[in-house]
Chains A and B, each alone.
Chain A
Amino acid sequence: MSETGLKARAAAIRDEQRAGFVSPDIPLLSNLSVYDNISLVPRYLTTEKDESIRAEIGKLLDLLKISDSINKKTFQLDSETLFKVKLLRALMLKESVTVIDRPFIMLNTAADIKPVYAILETLDISDRRVIFLDFEWNKSKY
């Protein structure tokens, strides 16, 4: 898909239903820590208790083996951790579609999509619909 096509498709998904976006165009907030970035969505949008949010995020960070980054700011993170944090933030929108937009821009060292699949399998989100948006020329990487 062309860049214009990708943006149009992303906008269509956004209009259609609430989607959690993992995209190079949707950054983390640079003045917040990893925990604050992930917890912002449930703390703002839901009435879930803080303790329960903290426990859930702690569990997810443990699963992805990035719990040592919980208090780090975004500039202290490598590209893989940044991707994982963006994914966790998107997953905080419950009962929604998760859109992974141009993953190879965010994971610039990945040769194919296997590392992303591995992350998704670790998180065990089989009940969640995940949509990948990418350029035509990256088709062979999937």
Chain B
Amino acid sequence: MRDFIEQFGSKAVNTFKNVSGFCVFCLKCLREFLQGSFFNRAAFDILVMQIFFTAYQLLNFFVVLSAVFGSIFIGIIFQTVKSFGLVQYLGNIVMGVVVLEFSPLITVVLLALRSSSAVNSEIAVMKVNREIDALESFGIDPVVYLFLPRIISFVISVTILSSLFAIIVLFSGFVFSSIIFEMSAGIFSEMITKSISVFDIIILYMKTIAFGFFISVIPLYNGWKTQYRPTDIPVSVLHGMMGVFMSIVFVEVVSLVARFLLNSL
């Protein structure tokens, strides 16, 4: 019994330390953001480079993926809507399912797989090689120089790429609606605009910002907390990616609850 209590207590203390450490890290990043530290020219260069790596380098692949995946998905939805006779709900289904839920989710999963893992391992390697210590010894704050530009670039990238995905899917929707339902562009756009509220747009962008924040700050924190041992790098990436997955689920659930509550008002 005593062993059980000790183990439980030890786990509780470790979890509390991890959570409080993470919160302190987030607050420090937020404070530097509010102080505008990323306008430091060395940090700003990193910000531009990170947007290039995270969003621009992915752009061609992302456009093709959105067009192919989005078209197939919207084609299946339209066929289902037609077979169940739910044409009057087409706008709600396209906006509610595809644009507000599917676009940010696909974008964030793609960016998490591609960039979050890269950032986690990059920072962990820098920590193990004592490169972060080197920065600190010269008076360069790693939060300002390394972490903040990456967080901002992820937020910008997720928001822009989600919006791009939504635009491409809506265009596919227009093409499919004209083929399957022989719907004109005017009717399609009217149906889409009627089925979306300002709250939906606000929640969509708050969600993309939250996604961008969590899929960058969690890997950064895990990379930064890596011990000075090369064997800790895969452990750090493992914990980071698990955290990223949990955060995606968490943000998705919170946004769904928020949408449900706001729509039922």
Stretch of B7-15, B63-71, B134-142, B181-189 lying at the A interface: B134-142
A46 to chain B, nearest CB (A): 10
| Nearest CB in chain B: distance from A48 CB, A | 10
| A28 partner, pick from B41, B42, B134, B137, beta carbons under 8 A | B134
Query: In the complex the two chains form, what is the Cα distance from A29 to B40 in whole Å?
Result: 19
The residues of B that contact A21 with a CB separation of less than 8 Å are: 137-138
Size category of the A interface is 10 to 19
Contact status of A30 and B42, CB under 8 A, knowing A44-B140, A93-B138: no
Contact digits for B40-53, partner A, Cβ 8 Å, 1 yes 0 no = 11110100000000
Q: Which of A7-53 contact B (CB under 8 A)?
A: 14, 18, 20-21, 25-31, 40-41, 43-45, 50
Chain B residues positioned under 8 Å from A84 (CB to CB): none
Q: Tell whether, in the assembled complex, residue A41 and residue B138 are in contact, meaning their CB atoms are under 8 Å apart.
A: yes
Q: Is the interface of B mostly helix, strand, loop or mixed?
A: helix
A44: chain B residues within 8 A (beta carbon): 40-43, 140, 145
Also in contact, A29 and B131, with CB within 8 A (given A43-B41, A44-B40): yes
Which residues of A sit under 8 angstroms from B126, Cβ to Cβ? 29
Are A45 and B130 touching (Cβ within 8 A)? no
For the complex, give the distance between the alpha carbons of A30 and B133 in Å. 13
Q: How many residues of B contact A (CB 8 A)?
A: 18
Give the CA-CA distance A21 to B42 in the complex, in Å: 20
User: In the complex the two chains form, is A20's CB within 8 Å of B138's CB?
Assistant: yes
Per a CB cutoff under 8 Å, which of A20, A30, A43, A45 touches B131? A30
* A26 contact set on B, CB distance < 8 A: 130, 133-134, 137
Q: How far is the CB of B9 from chain A (nearest CB, A)?
A: 35
Report B52 CB to chain A, min CB distance, Å: 14
Would A45 and B129 count as touching, CB distance under 8 A?
A: no
A45-84, CB < 8 A from B: 45, 50
Q: Which residue on chain B has the smallest CB distance to residue A40?
A: B42
CB-based contact A89/B131 at 8 Å: no
B137 touches A14 (CB 8 A): yes
Chain B 140-174 near chain A by CB (<8 Å), digits 1 or 0: 10000100000000000000000000000000000
Give the 3 A-B residue pairs with the shortest CB-CB distance, closest first. A44-B42, A43-B42, A26-B134
Chain B residues with a Cβ under 8 A of chain A = 40-43, 45, 122, 126, 129-131, 133-135, 137-140, 145
* Chain A residues packing against B (C-beta within 8 Å): 14, 18, 20-21, 25-31, 40-41, 43-45, 50, 89, 93
